[in-house]
Structure 1
Amino acid sequence: MSKEAQGPLALYDRNIKAKAILFDATKCTACRGCQVACKQWHDLPAEKTKNYGSYQNPPDLTPQTWLVIRFDETKDEHGLPRWLFNRQSCFHCLEPDCVRVCPPEALKRRSDGVVDITPDLCIGCGYCIDACPFGVPKMDPASKKVFKCNFCVDRLDYGLPPACVSSCPTGALEYGERADLLARARARVEQLRAQGFEQADIYGAKRYQTGVLLILPFSPGNYSWLPARPEGNRPIRWWKEVFNPLGSLVMGGAAAAAIIHYVVVGPHRIRKEKNKDSQPKGG
């Protein structure tokens, strides 16, 4: 039996390359098989929801729902109804701000590019929620822990694709080396543009790069929840990496000064008071 068959592949592959998921919105039928597969694989409980006037369900990610297929109802150039389907989940950013700001290192970026999370280490500070440009991490109000998609690392480590990819019947989801998927995505975009989709592009392949790539036939502004130009949250990074350490340094300096003051001044003051009390009083 090979080593790969004996345990997690990530422990043995010394040439791990960045993995990624490619989502082609033009092939998605919103069957939500991926959404169900995610729930089943991670044993996530069902949630009671309400009809709010959309076929989309649930309306957003939650601590118990790590993947949602978005339904955006728009109109085409002729004024006719048009559905735009999109995948909402963690993007597994190449330079994840959530990892940078996490104090207990509950969030880590693996060597294969996956942004993994260990809820047991989470202290509920919420830094990652503020730092994520996509609003992905969600806090469980009961446990005060944060949850999100983990790319099915327990499948990846044994050579299996994420559950969502395995369940897609139309080929809208692909898994593989990021470089290979990026090349396929570029070819697909050229094909779509030749077919008249002039706005077709790859989301997550330019300045703000992600481990989940989206092929969109229309500009990001046509899709709900997607920022047209995602940006890292600089204020929260500055607080975590600059001001917070400075504050700790100041507090630590104050504590050290108090200890030094006691060691140097305190005993002398006590001895002085004792000597004063021991002197005979005049009558």
Structure 2
Amino acid sequence: MPSDRIVALGVVATLVVFGAAVATLDVRADPGPQARPGSVAPATTASRPARQVLLTAAQGLDDAGSARLRTDREGPLGRGSAEGTLSWGAADAADLRLTDAAGAGRLRVVDGVCYLAHDGTAGWRRADRAEVESLDPSGAGVGGYAGGWLTALVGNPGGRLRLVALAGRLGELGPTTENGVVATHYRGSAPVAALFGADQNLSPERRAVVLAYYQAQGVETLDYDIWIGEGDQLLRLRESASGRAGTEVTSTAVSEPGVAFEVRAPGPADFAGVPAAG
């Protein structure tokens, strides 16, 4: 039977080892409520699948109903830009200043009708929103798609974001900054047929026109760069389309979601001498 002295020495040795283990713990750090057993830390953008983040951002724009936009396009057809406010959903309206092949101009949307005028011209032209490409100053949009430049200007950017999320192959490039705002950069690509095939707002006839346009240009895939900020807010969406004539890049920056604004349709006198389109 071991002596009392041997038992006492064993107890001391055990306490020394236990004390050393405790000393390695950082008892100064407050675990906080998120570290308590059974708690779940809030998911960050980087900790969730890219598809989920993009769909959440698209839904956020749907809910906001409006935003301030800046769109720039550069490619074989030249350069174009537009800046202003746009609303969608229950209030379909826009008030944009733009520059395109015809020079500086204005684009308004009121109750689903689009109005376009360029500085120095006699007056406004008009078309239903679904036929806005008929107002393309190059004339390429009459009866066709014309690359969707004007369509992109009067469309909720969340709509295209949703299509990319549903039909695209997505990857995360990591954290970055966009105009001084902390963001996560995503990249995706989608076959043209799959992207527009996922658009339930296109009739079969309209989808055929869009696909025929891209086929004629030799564009098979659309590539995207997407910057998502805090609160799953879309900060910028950049689309690249590479075809036979070169690559066209369209970039849309989004700010002030939910912004309020007013816009009025041009009066009857503003159309004097100018036939209405559509």
> Could you tell me the TM-score, scaled by structure 1's length?
0.26
> Could you tell me the TM-score, scaled by structure 2's length?
0.27
Larger Rg over CA atoms = 2
Q: Which has the bigger relative contact order, CA under 8 A and spacing at least 6?
A: 1
